[in-house]
């Protein structure tokens, strides 16, 4: 009986640990710019340390790069 309780608790704790936030890919964050910024801010504050940090920051970098390129091309066409 004691063994069953210990095993049940171990399984329950394992399931609880697996209930982490969903990891979104870079394309998701490119489509959800505001969420990417919120995640990035939380990462900088140390509140989040999972792959969402990398993916959100990569998406923000790519979006910023595209914005700069668009501005540069827009100015050169005038």
Domain membership of residue 42 as a residue range: 24-75
Q: What is the pLDDT of residue 10?
A: 63
Residue 67 lies in a domain: yes
**pLDDT tens track for 2-57:** 777 777 666 665 544 455 579 999 999 999 999 999 999 999 999 999 999 999 99
Q: pLDDT at residue 70 above 70?
A: yes
On whether the pTM is more than 0.85, the answer is no
Q: Provide the number of structural domains found in the chain.
A: 1
Residue 33 lies in a domain: yes
Both structure tokens of 14: 């394992």
Cβ contacts of residue 32 below 8 Å, gap of 6+? 24
Cβ contacts of residue 42 below 8 Å, gap of 6+? 48
Residue 41 lies in a domain: yes
Residue 9 lies in a domain: no
């Amino acid at each position: 009986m004691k063994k069953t309780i210990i095993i049940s608790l171990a399984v329950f704790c394992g399931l609880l640990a697996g209930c982490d936030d969903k990891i979104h890919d870079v394309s998701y964050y490119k489509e959800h710019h505001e969420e990417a910024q919120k995640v990035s801010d939380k990462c900088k504050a140390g509140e989040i340390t999972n792959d969402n940090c990398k993916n959100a920051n990569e998406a923000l970098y790519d979006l910023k790069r595209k914005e700069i390129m668009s501005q540069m091309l827009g100015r050169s066409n005038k």
